[in-house]
Structure formats: structure tokens, C-alpha cells
Amino acid sequence: MHRTLAVFAFALCLSTQVLAGPYEDGDAAYEKGDYATALQLYRPLAEQGHMLAQFSLGYMYANGEGLPRDFAEAVRWYRKAADQGNAAAMVNLGLKYEQGQGVPQDNVQAYMWYALSAAAYGNVPQSRDRALKNRDLIAQRMSPGQVAQAQKLVQEWKPKN
């Protein structure tokens, strides 16, 4: 029995190592503050369409981590991840449109991205509720026509997988 348990534990360790890859290595480097390595690992993945790497690259541009802060580049990478359904990228796009960072300020777009984010978060109540609160706050600054326009955009939106 002990041998079986030992073999299982060894196999589990091997499978965990097999599951780790460039993205996870990028995350580990990021967590250590080694932004140069994180960028080196994230960028090729992001360019190949890896949604989480796209989000991570956008986040690094938005915060100037390992490279100069560039909101336009942050928006570009967030949009690629959001187009694949990444809820965090969607909420960050809403914020960029609300604040006019990297894009022209646009409450309709902000509302749309906040609403899409809330739907994408689904069963993650705290994140979903925060996105809904952002959507409702931006709606207070919009005309009924703008809200209707944003709601139409939400209904028409489709992920680009």
C-alpha cells in the first residue's frame, strides 16, 4: 500500500511539472518581480492568441511594469483577451473607456464592457457584483438613449474565439 501511495505521489509531482509551461513560468517570474522574464514569456504566447498572456501583457502595460506605461498598448492587449471572453480584461476595458486612458472617453463603451464582464464572471459573485456596480455607476452619467445603445451593443457582442 505504501508503495502504491508513493508511486501515486511521484506521478502527481510529474504531472504537475508537465502542466507547468511558459505561461505559468511567466506568472512565477511576475510574482517575484522579474518583469523582464515575465514579458519574455508572456509576449510570444500573447501574440499566438493565449488569452491569459494577453491579459497579463495588458496589465503590465497599464501599470508600467517592466516597460513604460502605455495605456493604448494596454487597451490593445485587453481587447484581444476580452474578445475571447476574459472577464478581467473586460472590466479593465470598461475602466479605460470610462477614464479615457488609451482610448477616447466613452461611457457607452464603458457600460458595455462592464456589463459583459458581469455576465462573464457568472458564478463569481464578488467580481460580478463589482462589475455590475461599475455598470450602474456609469449609467447614472448617461442619457436613456446612451444606455439603450450600450445595452444593444451588449446583446450583439459575440466572443471571437
Model confidence pLDDT, tens digit, residues 138-150 = 999 999 999 999 9
Quote the pLDDT of residue 109: 98
Quote the pLDDT of residue 75: 98
Quote the pLDDT of residue 142: 98
pLDDT band at 123 (very low <50, low <70, confident <90, very high): confident
pLDDT tens-digit map of 90-114: 999 999 999 999 999 999 999 999 9
Determine contact, residues 146/108, Cβ cutoff 8 Å. yes
116-119 contact pairs (CB < 8 A, 24+)? 116/82, 116/90, 116/154, 116/157, 117/87, 117/88, 117/90, 117/91, 119/154
pLDDT beyond 80 at 62: yes
| Between residues 5 and 101, the one the model is more confident about | 101
Give CATH superfamily name and number for 45-156: Tetratricopeptide repeat domain (1.25.40.10)
